[in-house]
Amino acid sequence: MAKPSKLEKGDTIAFLAPAGGLASLTPHRLEKGIEFFEKQGYKVNVFPTAKSRKGLSSDTPENRAKDINEAFKDKTIKAIISTIGGNSAHQTLEYIDFNLIKKNPKIFCGYSDITSLHLSFYSQSGLIGFYGPAVITQFGEHPNPDQYTVEHFFKAVEGKVGKVEPSKEWTDDKEFNWLNKEDLERKRKFKKNRGYEWLRKGKAKGKILGGCLPVILHLSGTKYWPSFKDKILLLETPEGDDYKKGETLANIDSAMGDLRNLNVFKEIKGLIFGRGFSYNEDQINQIKEIILMNTRGSTFPILYGIDIGHSDPMITIPLGVEVEIDSEKNLFSITESGVS
């Protein structure tokens, strides 16, 4: 595997937009993200796509891939963080220089639609990617990024491993409009976190791989599809067409059925499912039923409700490293560093 070097004070971090161009419409959140890292002692290099928007994405697939290639090529850059997700990161794959990435491994962080890049980098270059916060969604938060998110991001990029404790509180509050800067007017409302829930008991060790449920399927049938043999599968669900609501239960059920038909559930050793975004109690229970129904016939442990995905706060998970889950100990532990 290609492990990047750990992040240190004074290093340069690149911001770019491999998919959506929302950062161009919310410059106050982009500037907040820049300010946060500069105050922490890092330099920030903002690439063209981070401030652009063309059609449904930040730029053409060629230009988005160009930013990615240039960021990996630049010897002064130690880490790359996506501004946000979107729906089109997979459009860049045919223009990405995977050999360049293999020769110049760097910390690459993002979530949601960035899943297609993480898994492609892993399968084509062996790169350990970091499934974690994006610039405007987490690091651009007002008045400050969530401390739990920040703590776990730096743990991951500095190579600190060990048991991951659940957050004490969480939020899926998006009852404001970033375009009108309503996010500057109040703090988000938080709820008490119930902690981990085991849908199926057991224990397992293996390399963790996965990401946003529907995005993974963009790669099925392509050369970018990674092997899930003996992996611990990570899944989480995105917003729906309405950014204030979660993906429909029908779409979740359909996507889980696709993974079943692709025999993924016959290959993996364990499943970790992120906390649902913007669902009521009844919908959460239905999601759990969907998970169990689509994994029927298997015996691997299933951990539900970790701090990852489209609610906040979130941990940062190095994809491709060893992790351990154990229901008896109520344990989720990252046992291998994602950096060298």
pTM of the model: 0.97
Of the candidates 130, 115, 39, 42, the residue with the CA atom closest to the CA atom of residue 81 = 130
User: d(Cα 211, Cα 42) in Å, to the nearest integer?
Assistant: 27
Residue 319: strand pairing partners: 129
User: d(Cα 231, Cα 111) in Å, to the nearest integer?
Assistant: 19
Residue 340: strand pairing partners: none
What letter represents residue 57's amino acid? S
CB count within 10 Å of CB 237 equals: 27
Judge contact between 156 and 127, C-beta under 8 A: no
Structure tokens at 273: 């499912």
Judge contact between 226 and 123, C-beta under 8 A: yes
Angle at CA of residue 271, ends 267 and 274, nearest 5°: 145
- SS3 of the chain: the string is CECCCCCCCCCEEEEECCCCCHHHCCHHHHHHHHHHHHHCCCEEEECHHHHCCECCECCCHHHHHHHHHHHHHCCCEEEEEECCCCCCHHHHHHHCCHHHHHHCCCEEEECHHHHHHHHHHHHHHCECEEECCCHHHHHCCCCCCCHHHHHHHHHHHCCCCEECCCCCEEECCCCCCHHHCHHHCCCCCCEECCCCEEEECCEEEEEEEEEEHHHHHHHCCCCCCCCCCCCEEEEECCECCCCCCECCHHHHHHHHHHHHHCCHHHHCCEEEEECCCCCCHHHHHHHHHHHHHHCCCCCCCEEEEECCCCCECCCCEEECCEEEEECCCCEEEECCCCCC
What CATH number does domain 12-162 carry, 3.30.420.130, 3.30.420.40, 2.60.40.1220, 3.40.50.10740? 3.40.50.10740
User: d(Cα 273, Cα 237) in Å, to the nearest integer?
Assistant: 9
Query: Which pLDDT value is given to residue 7?
Result: 98
CATH code of the domain occupying 163-334? 3.50.30.60
Query: Which pLDDT value is given to residue 81?
Result: 98
Q: One digit per residue, pLDDT tens: the chain, 340 residues?
A: 899 999 999 999 999 999 999 999 999 999 999 999 999 999 999 999 999 999 999 999 999 999 999 999 999 999 999 999 999 999 999 999 999 999 999 999 999 999 999 999 999 999 999 999 999 999 999 999 999 999 999 999 999 999 999 999 999 998 889 999 999 998 899 999 999 999 999 999 999 999 999 999 999 999 999 999 999 999 999 999 888 899 999 999 999 999 999 999 999 999 999 998 899 999 999 999 999 999 999 999 999 999 999 999 999 999 999 999 999 999 999 999 999 9
Query: Which pLDDT value is given to residue 171?
Result: 96
Query: Which pLDDT value is given to residue 255?
Result: 98
Query: Which pLDDT value is given to residue 175?
Result: 86
Query: Which pLDDT value is given to residue 176?
Result: 86
Query: Which pLDDT value is given to residue 190?
Result: 96
What letter represents residue 223's amino acid? K
In terms of phi and psi (left: phi > 0; alpha: psi -120 to 50; beta: otherwise), the region of 11 is beta
Query: Which pLDDT value is given to residue 117?
Result: 98
User: d(Cα 93, Cα 114) in Å, to the nearest integer?
Assistant: 11
Indicate where the chain has its CATH 3.50.30.60 domain(s).
163-334
Query: Which pLDDT value is given to residue 46?
Result: 98
Indicate where the chain has its CATH 3.40.50.10740 domain(s).
12-162
